[in-house]
Amino acid sequence: MDNDYIYYIFGGTYDLKPHRFGLDVMYFRDRFNGADTQSPTNRPNLDFQGQKIDSVWVNAAWTGRVGPVLGVLQGNLSLGTARGGVAGIPAGVARGRDYDIFGGGVIAYAEVDLGVVRPFVSFIYGSGDGDPSDNKLHGFTPEPINNSTQIYGTSFFAHLDRNVAAGGGRDYSCPGRMRGVRRGAPANNPSAIGADVLADGAGGAVAECYHTVSNLWNVRVGNDSHPGIGTAYSNPGTLLAILGLKTFPAKGHEITGWYTYRAFADSTLVERAFIRGTDRGFTGNISKSLYHEVGGFWQWTLNPHFDIRLTGNIGIAGEGTKDLARLANCTRENQPGFRSCEGEDVALKGEARFRARF
């Protein structure tokens, strides 16, 4: 029995103040999600029995300052091979199908130090997988399964502790009443909005968000798009842009505002999951746009040990989320029939924080 999930990390950094360069290489050997410790019909938390993934994540990063500009830049590659399951796979799917893994991503952040004001911009991109029927896995994610993602030794947004834009925070695609279906449920049920939807019509998956709270990438949607294998390397990609302004009106005070836009890089996987003859006539496109966010905060640092922060966010559904909502089933649990969701409500978040550091 082989049910291991092992990863090896190699990396190094070079400091050339005010610049810092880093290179990390991580090898992943995933046998856990293909473990034979459960029967093919009783695997609610695992993927297809017998699947294997061997992959490598390579990232090269720079942080530093050029004049008044502070910056972070990271390039990423996911490489490797995978093999599909040999038991519990959908009918008509080849056993042990081989897949090639190749995806890329970019993270960039720049902040201009003008003294009292500091405009900033951030851009995150991950390649999308555009064909659920081939043997290529082009959706970028650093890891083969849905784990928390660490970037350049620490969470990327640790650089932005006072900037709570939703790059790695709340996922607005997690509505409280959406209903999903597990793998093996009746086909042609598109209720799994924001879920790991199967694109071959063989069923659905447990409803999830587009990404985990600590993961920048849209790894959830399309996670099981290639029949016979479950992997985060099959996903519709990520496009995330943040534009904001930090201001420092008085000593110890900071007021920051931002706008965030999130989208799929390629929505083909999601579209294919819903093109069924019984899916309420859907034959069109699903927009790449997921949501818009406007937010801001005021922070008062009383001294090196204490600070107070008030923050608020408004999340507005994009056209892609609205498209998925119209296809999703918002009928109450245990109630018959179908009722489309609307996706029109805004998401509101407010927070008051008093922090002590010693």
Domains along the sequence of the chain with CATH:
5-356 (2.40.160)
Residue 50: the pLDDT is: 87
The span from the CA of 316 to the CA of 329, in Å, is 20
The span from the CA of 79 to the CA of 140, in Å, is 10
Residue 137: the pLDDT is: 94
Q: 184 pLDDT exceeds 50? A: no
Are β-strands 347-356 and 253-263 bridged in parallel, bridged antiparallel, or unpaired? unpaired
Residue 206: the pLDDT is: 33
pLDDT band at 106 (very low <50, low <70, confident <90, very high): very high
Q: Given the structure tokens 């069109």, which residue do they identify?
A: 284
Residue 41: the pLDDT is: 53
Mean pLDDT lowest among 135-139, 298-302, 340-344: 340-344
The span from the CA of 69 to the CA of 73, in Å, is 12
Mean pLDDT lowest among 84-98, 120-134, 231-245, 294-308: 84-98
The span from the CA of 168 to the CA of 180, in Å, is 24
Q: Given the structure tokens 């420092």, which residue do they identify?
A: 248
Q: 104 pLDDT exceeds 80? A: yes
Quick: pLDDT tens for 210-266. Answer: 777 667 888 877 666 787 888 889 899 999 999 999 999 999 999 999 999 999 999
Residue 178: the pLDDT is: 43
Residue 74: the pLDDT is: 93
Residue 5: the pLDDT is: 87
Average pLDDT over residues 65-70: 95
Average pLDDT over residues 135-161: 66
Q: 273 pLDDT exceeds 80? A: no
Q: Are 139 and 265 in contact (CB under 8 A)?
A: no
**What DSSP string describes 205-229?**
-----SS-TT--S--STTTT-STT-
pLDDT band at 47 (very low <50, low <70, confident <90, very high): confident
Average pLDDT over residues 315-327: 84
Residue 334: the pLDDT is: 67
Mean pLDDT of the chain: 78
The span from the CA of 202 to the CA of 183, in Å, is 8
Q: 86 pLDDT exceeds 80? A: yes
The span from the CA of 236 to the CA of 232, in Å, is 10
Average pLDDT over residues 59-67: 94
- Look up the pTM and report it: 0.83
Q: Which of 59-73, 175-189, 284-298, 318-332 has the highest mean pLDDT?
A: 59-73
Q: Are 52 and 30 in contact (CB under 8 A)?
A: yes
Average pLDDT over residues 96-121: 94
Between 344 and 276, where is the model more confident? 344
